[in-house]
Structure 1
Amino acid sequence: MIDHKTIKIMINLYLDGELAGEELEQFKQHIKECDECARLLKKQRDFIDAIRSLKDEVNVDFKDFKEGLIEQIERYKIGKERKLKYALLLSALVILLFGMFAIFYFHASRVDLVKIAVENHIRQVRGQLPLEVETSSEAEISKWFEGKLRFNFRLPRYPDPSNQPYKIRGARLVALNNDYAALVSYEMDNHPMTLLVAPSQSATPHGAKKVKFKEIDFYLDNQNGFNILSWTDKGLTYALVFDFNNFDWKKPCIVCHSQGTKEM
């Protein structure tokens, strides 16, 4: 039985075409039986359709634009000075259009890592996203990721992992912006934690609250009842999802800092 908290996550996955098999059938059955969730699905689909419609309406005919610009230049080119003026104007216009396209592409290609981290955490905890490697060894997980990612990612190694308050359960790859990100599953005080790692070029950390520590900005947020800690360091963006009742943003940092809150 799917609860309303989970259905909000699954709606986005359904509209992105990421649901399949039994998970997809359960989703469709719930939508048939629940008017509230059906309305929520329709609202989300209408929003996406509106965005796509707006995109279709923005249709610039660059061929006509180019021909019109050339015609005006030819009409008024009197002397070398005027030729140079319009050549510079055309060059500036091309540079401006290229810059606008680059900015649009840069923002369009970036993803909401926090949202994706929460979605994958829920699916992983519910058993809908099985681990591809199950081990408690940082070294084995780091080695498993070698050659599977387009970025270098290694977990920190400690002399005696048995003394750490957390336990590594395993890892897997997850789809992210036509590429892969690294997902590592932890457990602390019988609570699951999920760490999602991606290149900072494609993902940006964000949150309702920002805390600066050792020249790094940590962002704290809460979505769908889960706490999220995200940050960027050395070209990678991290998002750690957990559900501790007494929210202490320093506590989950133990997975990367062996002294935990003592260092914080």
Structure 2
Amino acid sequence: MPHRTAFFVSDGTGITAETFARALLAQFEIRPKMVRLPFIDSAEKAHQAVRQINHTAQVDGKRPLVFTTLVNEEALEVLRRDCTGLLIDMFGTFIAPLELELGMKSNHRVGRFSDVTRSREYHDRIEAINFTLEHDDGQTDRSLEMADVILVGVSRSGKTPTSLYLALQFGLKAANYPLIPDDFERRQLPAALLPHKKKLFGLTIDPQRLSEIRHERRPNSRYASLENCRYEVREAEALMRRAGIRVLSTTHKSIEEIATLIRQDLEARA
């Protein structure tokens, strides 16, 4: 594919523009260079952004893809008038139809970060992140009763990134606990988890894939050997089945997919 550059231009952090744009670009077999241009909140800064975008167009020989969530009308007008890239105004595309449908004008406010930081939802999310970090990889058994979900599985099966995603995206207090050979020998879950069986969710993974992941961490070790990975996965799955824990394979799923499936399961149980 020809070299392309995608710019994410925003009055705020640019996270909204980038997230939306990445979802759109994922539909195409292309890997553009991605550049975030945050805090473009004046015409002067917009002119600077335009110079960078137009220079990139000359270097690439292709016009850049410019995704913007600009609210500042003066800054947005500079991009509309002077930018040589393909300008995709995300707010302009979606807010105008919503204003018509709802019969009201939008606030046209940047980011709304001050409102967010005062909201209960924001503070709950921060609390969930702190809880999840504290309860990563079985670091502590304290206050497990406060967990929304406890992920279990062998080492490197995806427990930590999934837990953090659940906390960051959904505000869920997600602990995670490794299953180790001692548990397999006892044929029983760790004692600290037994009072919380209803909150447990198991993650498993193909042994071959697990071996590849572990080799990146500890090459040529017994920990990473295919034989050991097969043993641990087999015993962990058997242990989770005996305990009646729902098990999900992470082998071919993204963290986003795994977390969403877990959230759906939790909502169904509620």
Structure whose residues are more often strand by fraction:
1
**Which structure shows the higher helix fraction?**
2
Coarse TM-score class (shorter-chain normalised): under 0.3
Give the TM-score taking structure 1 as reference length. Answer: 0.27
User: TM-score scaled to structure 2, two decimals?
Assistant: 0.27
